[in-house]
Amino acid sequence: MGRGRHIFYWIGQLNWGLMFLILFLFMIGMMMQYSAGGGHLDPWARSHLIRFFPAFVGMLVIAYMPPQWLLKLAYPLYGIGVLMLVAVEVSGHIGMGAQRWIALGPVNLQPSELMKLGIIVVLARYFHTFHPNEKPHPMYLLIPLILLAIPAALILKQPNLGTAFILLVVGAIVLFVAGVRWIYFIIAGAGALIALPVAWQFLHDYQKQRVLTFLNPDQDPLGAGYNIIQSIIAIGSGGLFGKGYLKGSQGQLDFLPEKQTDFIFTMLAEEFGFVGCLVVILSYLLLLVFCIGIALRSRHRFGALIAVGIGALLFLHVLINIGMSMGLLPVVGVPLPLLSYGGTMLITIFLAFGLLMNVWIHRDVTLKVSSL
């Protein structure tokens, strides 16, 4: 009986509202992967489901881990992430024109996805040493800027512009919430705008083409503009309630490329219409509300900054993926969390929710750490 109460106690520590939203969106993802496969488990739905189990276990392990462990592991895990990015550069696998994967036995891993979590945790660890009302001195910003610059440079080298952009923006949001003065962000933003013409010269041809296609997709409707034109057609044809599950013409007749990954939202819009899209978007919005609420409830700064970082990561993925599906943003290959196919991304997002759940479970813990 005592053991039973102990098990139920730990189960009760989980945030079940958050858990429901996670599982709800994953089930929608399973439905869409099944549809992307033409009403078959293979090639995507079965693998998506198989990857769910280790990802879910990983989420629970992280959720119940003592936060003191996360504090101690922050820098070592960041270092491992950087070494994995270096390994990608040295002996990574090339796919879709980019070198982004490394092989760990039978598993292909994309370290840049995991690095998104590494940067959140390491920045939260660094700023945990400062008092919430203390404004970090400019010299103290050198370390977090270096922590951000190293993985961003390695990811850009792959090349993976979308992931590098998300990494930098998530890092910037964590810095802002940590108390870095807004004037620094204005200076950085102005510098980035001034550097745009120079940065354009360093873009690969296909990256330049994506920007030009975004500005005018009709200039090459059967080439570079094909994906986004088909996506817009599919979204528009869905109407209010959609064409019905497994009945989307653009998706089922294979007019829509990358429908299981980058354009999974397009399939959802075609088959379930505006109402289905609204349900999914509101679900993501509720997840973001949970992130903010958990950040506000955390008594330790480490957890609050982690929750903010996870919220920023989720928001950027949803915004960019849906934006590019609708032709509002350039196509940069950013997946939709829990819905898009992709092993490393699925594991990353579940580990992210594990971190968020950890902050919730240990929200009243007082964390002390010696100054750096």
Summarised one tens digit per residue, pLDDT across range 163-200 is 999 999 999 999 999 988 888 888 888 888 888 787 77
For residue 3, pLDDT beyond 60: no
pLDDT, the chain, mean: 87
pTM of the model: 0.91
Q: Measure Cα distances from 117 to 42, 45, 305, 336 in Å.
A: 30, 26, 12, 16
**C-alpha gyration radius of the chain:** 21
For residue 115, pLDDT beyond 80: yes
Q: What is the predicted pLDDT for the residue at 224?
A: 65
Question: Tokens standing for 219?
Answer: 């200039």
- How does 211-231 read in b/e, with b if 16+ C-beta sit within 10 Å? eebbeebeeeeeebbbbbbbb
Q: Measure Cα distances from 295 to 175, 177, 302, 339 in Å.
A: 15, 11, 10, 25
Residue 243 has a CB neighbour count (10 Å cut-off) of 19
Highest mean pLDDT among 53-57, 180-184, 233-237, 342-346: 53-57
Q: Which residue has the tokens 């439905």?
A: 31
Distance CA 231, CA 33 (A): 17
99: phi then psi, degrees, rounded to nearest 5: -105, 95
For residue 312, pLDDT beyond 90: yes
Q: What is the mean pLDDT of residues 112-136?
A: 86
Which candidate, 126, 96, 100, places its Cα nearest to that of 112? 100
Given pLDDT bands bounded at 50, 70 and 90, which one contains residue 2?
Answer: very low
Q: Which residue has the higher pLDDT, 238 or 369?
A: 238
Q: What is the mean pLDDT of residues 15-24?
A: 96
Using one digit for the tens of pLDDT, what is the confidence trace for 37-87?
988 998 899 999 999 999 999 999 999 999 999 999 999 999 999 999 998
User: Residue 270 CA to chain centroid, in angstroms?
Assistant: 24
Which segment of 211-225, 277-291, 331-345 scores lowest on mean pLDDT?
Answer: 211-225
For residue 102, pLDDT beyond 90: no
Given pLDDT bands bounded at 50, 70 and 90, which one contains residue 8?
Answer: confident
What is the DSSP code (8-state) at residue 333? -
Q: What percent of the chain lies above the pLDDT cut of 90?
A: 57
Question: Tokens standing for 282?
Answer: 């509101």
Q: What is the mean pLDDT of residues 305-320?
A: 97
What is the DSSP code (8-state) at residue 95? E
**Domain residue ranges of the chain, discontinuous segments joined by +:** 18-361
For residue 306, pLDDT beyond 70: yes
Q: Which residue has the higher pLDDT, 137 or 313?
A: 313
For residue 122, pLDDT beyond 90: yes
Which segment of 10-14, 258-262, 283-287, 316-320 scores lowest on mean pLDDT?
Answer: 10-14
Reported as half-sphere exposure (CB side, CA atoms, 13 A), residue 180 has a value of 24
Straight-line distance from the first to the last Cα atom of the chain, in angstroms, rounded to the nearest whole number? 46
Distance CA 203, CA 201 (A): 6
Neighbour order of strands in the sheet with 107-109: 93-95, 98-104, 107-109
